[in-house]
Amino acid sequence: MLWSEVRRQVLRTGLGLGAAGLLASVAGCGFALRRPPKLAFGSIAMSGFAPRSPLAEELQAQLAQQVRVLPPPATVDVVLQSLVDVRERSVVASTSAAQVRALQLRVKFTFRAQTPGGRELIPRAELLLARDMSYTENAALAKEYEEGELFRAMQSDIVLQVLRRLAAVQV
């Protein structure tokens, strides 16, 4: 009995030291959580978005953490103009009985950025993301939820890509 207690104590100590060493090596390598890119301007206006666009709402929330987001007629440093903001869903596979088996979900966002005076900062840019999703009628409600989650994930990816492009802008 005594030998097993000693062995357990040695294992616990060794595992604790190993974990501490691993944490110290990760901390020393410069590891840090991903942060949104720093923007080099102080205010932005967003125009051309649909009234209740989920993409516009998420983009505005992310931008508001760093800069002032003002309504379009205001005097700002940058104007972000949405040209196309669509979500598409298409059938890519079906059975011989016309039952859907696979869907493709696409999010397309086309935008440009300019100064209020009209100087182009980001020329017309198009972001297109697509995800494939299996489908079965037996789990229609679950698949509808999965579709919503995939659209939200693609929307977040697009917002991060727009932020990275805006971070490269020099006003």
What pLDDT is recorded for position 121? 95
**Eight-class DSSP state of 51:** T
What pLDDT is recorded for position 36? 74
What pLDDT is recorded for position 74? 76
Name 9's Cβ contacts closer than 8 Å, sequence gap at least 6.
none
Greater pLDDT, 58 or 10: 58
Asked if 116 and 81 count as a contact pair (C-beta separation under 8 A), the reply is no
Pairing of strands 78-94, 100-114: antiparallel
DSSP run (H or E) holding 110 = strand 100-114
* Over residues 65-77, mean pLDDT: 88
pLDDT band at 24 (very low <50, low <70, confident <90, very high): low
Helix (H, G, I), strand (E, B) or coil at 149: helix
Q: Which amino acid is at 19?
A: A
**What's the helix, strand, coil split of the chain in %, to 5?**
40, 30, 25
